Structure formats: structure tokens, C-alpha cells
Amino acid sequence: MLIPRGDRLAVWGDPISHSRSPQIHAAAYRTLGFDWSYGRAQMGEAGFADALARLDASWRGLSLTMPLKTVAFAAAADRDRHAELTGAVNTLLLGPDGPRGFNTDVGGIVRALGDSGITETPAARIVGAGATATSALVALSELGAENVDVVARRPEAAASLVALGRMLDLDVTVSPLAAEPRADVAVTIATLPGDAVLDGPVADALAASGGLLMDVVYGHWPTTLSSAWERAGSPAVSGLGMLLHQALLQVRVFATGDPAAALPDESRVLAEMRRALGEQSRDVTGDGGVGD
């Protein structure tokens, strides 16, 4: 497998000005002693293919955020298993045979939940049915989940999650937001946009039976759900942990071509990335929510 020799990297998306990826990637490469640059560019779906085609040999790879994960999937010459399962690519490693696509969001969720003591869970809940919910479902399958309840504003939007659940040998049930939560679960992963507002009774009912909350939001904190978890006296973590760990896996890809290949002195690399993010350990409701 050929690893590109270029030293230029960037995160693309729209909007992109809020992205913390440049800080945390720069910290990683500085710690590794790599003289690589990592920038950002506002990019929409319409201009993506042409912009990707214009990248020359000085470029090593790209991180992709919304709304580019689907078009990046289509642009990849080959893809890892997580990308194939989710239909989403958030990492492109460039090379002479075409870009290789990876989804590091799945591993980022698994590792972030591990930071909070969740290394396995037989039953879980996902709030929301969008693209991030797909990565959350795959992550939960890797944590041994057998039953996952998807709670969505529009239950019909979760049809693809039910189909994916069958592929993963998961029993996926779908409930409207206003329905009584089906059962107590050990972990709830919320994938709603940061500005989403839920009715107080709905949020409180989910918090009462939801175990640990991981809300993938980190720029609008606290969220309606994290506030409900705080009222219930239950733990809640923001999406900063997921952001941190998916970025570490991206660094692995850019450095080695393999998200499973550990970096030299990786614990120190991760510590420096965490410091750059401004997250001392993990963002827990009640200890001061971290904003964007």
C-alpha cells in the first residue's frame, strides 16, 4: 500500500469556520515531528468533485464534514468497512490509484464511550435518524448491542436504520419522540442538530430511562437533552470526545494508511490533541459544558 508523500491536509465542509479540526490535527503532527500543514476550506456538494480533482501531489488527504460525507463516499476508489456500512466517508487518503475512503466517526464514538466507562451495552437508544445515527448504530453493534431503540421526529426516516440493523443482526425498533420510552437502556446517543429543541416532558422522559447520554453536539452546549440529563442526575457527555477520537483515527490514516495502526507514542499524541481541544478529560454535565 502506497502512502502519499504530500504534506498538505485540510478539513472541508459548509459551514466550516467553527471547525476545531485544524487545532487538534496541528497538535498531533507537531507532537509526531511531522512538518505537515492542515487548513480548512468552505466547500459544498456542488463544487466538491472539481475541487478534489484539482488537488496535486502536494496533498496527502482530507477530513470531510457535513454536507460532504456522501459525495466523498461516491468519490472514493475504495472504502473501509465502516464507510461501506454507513455510506459515509469523513476521511480521504489521496494516492495515485484514487482516494481511499474511511469513516472514523464509528471508531470515534466507540472510543469516546469507552472514556466514559461504556465498553459494552446490550441495549441502547439513538435519538435522531440522520447520517450520524447510522455511524452510531454501527458503533453500538461493535459494543455488543442486541437491541437499539431509535427515537425520531419522523419515524419513517429511520427505515434505513432498521435495514442496517438487520445486516448487523440488531433488533432495531423505532418510536416517535412523543412516545413513552420503551425500556431502560445503558446509553443514549443523541444525533440531533445542536439547535434542536425538544419539549421538556419528552426530554425528561428520555433522561429518566436513558443511562449515559452522549450528545454528539459540542458547539451548542448544554443542549435540551443534556439539561434534562442533569436534572435527572444522570451523566452526559458532549461530542468533544467523539471529535477527539475520530481525529486521532484520521491521524493514523494520514500517517500509516490504517485507522487500526497505533501511532508512535500515541498516548502523548492524544494528550496533546486533547490539550489543544481544551478538554482536560471529558465534558460532563455539571462540570461546565464546553461550547464551540
Catalytically active residues are: 69
CA 235 to the chain's CA centroid: 19
Give whole-number Cα distances, 141 to 144, 165, 170, 219, in Å: 5, 9, 7, 27
Give the pairing of strands 91-93 and 59-64: antiparallel
Q: How far apart are CA 223 and CA 188, in angstroms?
A: 14
Q: Strand, helix or coil at 58?
A: coil
276: buried, middle or exposed (CB in 10 Å: 19+, 13-18, 0-12)?
A: buried
Per DSSP, 158 falls in state G
- Could you write out the three-class secondary structure of 223-267? CHHHHHHHHHCCCEECCHHHHHHHHHHHHHHHHHCCCCCCCCCHH
8 A C-beta contact, residue 138 and residue 168: yes
